[in-house]
């Protein structure tokens, strides 16, 4: 099981290039979907609303990506992911009621959350990027397993 560390299989140039490629793909999906989804909505075209929507979608995508990378899933992991998603949404909504701290951000969360298109994009974009990550992980697991993955499967079979 320690061979992956000794052979530098977890952190090398090809792993870094794979992560960069996956990040570029996710950013491309997020950007294209946001541009296509929100060009016709007049309230959602403002800089602060569109920026907040893209931020929330990005945070949601990264939380889904973190969930996909977990090798052990338990109650605390699931609870932390749910609290992170809900906490971010509640913070943005609550922060948009304080014009003193950021006048440009006043009511931005309220405007964004009002549209069903926001919620559709918020939940579907991470699924789209997650499907790509699952496909890459499946190919890697089935055709190029590392010793750690093989040991995990043997342990799971026992």
CA distance 29 to 34: 8
**The predicted structure's pLDDT at residue 71:** 76
| Low-confidence spans in the chain with pLDDT less than 70 | 1-5, 9, 41-45, 158
**The predicted structure's pLDDT at residue 123:** 93
101: number of CA atoms within 13 Å, CB side? 8
Over the Cα atoms of the chain, what is R_g?
19
**The predicted structure's pLDDT at residue 41:** 64
- Map tokens 């992956």 to a residue: 4
pTM over 0.85: no
The DSSP output letter for 39 is S
| Residues 6 or more apart in contact with residue 78 via CB below 8 angstroms | none
**The predicted structure's pLDDT at residue 18:** 86
Alpha-carbon separation of residue 121 from 32, 64, 75, 117, 125 (angstroms)? 11, 14, 27, 6, 6
The DSSP output letter for 105 is G
| Residues 6 or more apart in contact with residue 74 via CB below 8 angstroms | none
**The predicted structure's pLDDT at residue 57:** 94
**The predicted structure's pLDDT at residue 127:** 92
99-110 pLDDT, tens digit each: 887 788 888 888
CA distance 122 to 112: 11
């Amino acid at each position: 099981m320690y061979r992956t560390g000794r052979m530098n299989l977890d952190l090398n140039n090809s792993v870094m290039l794979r992560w960069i490629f996956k990040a570029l793909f996710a950013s491309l999906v997020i950007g294209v979907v946001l541009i296509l989804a929100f060009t016709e909505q007049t309230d959602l075209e403002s800089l602060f609303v569109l920026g907040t929507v893209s931020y929330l979608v990005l945070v949601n995508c990264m939380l889904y990506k973190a969930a996909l990378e977990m090798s052990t899933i338990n109650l605390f992991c699931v609870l932390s992911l749910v609290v992170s998603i809900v906490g971010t949404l509640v913070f943005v909504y609550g922060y948009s009621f304080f014009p003193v701290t950021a006048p440009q951000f006043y009511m931005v969360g309220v405007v964004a959350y009002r549209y069903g298109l926001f919620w559709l994009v918020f939940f579907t974009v991470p699924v789209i990027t997650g499907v790509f990550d699952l496909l890459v992980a499946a190919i890697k697991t089935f055709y190029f397993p590392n010793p750690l993955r093989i040991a995990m499967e043997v342990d799971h079979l026992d």
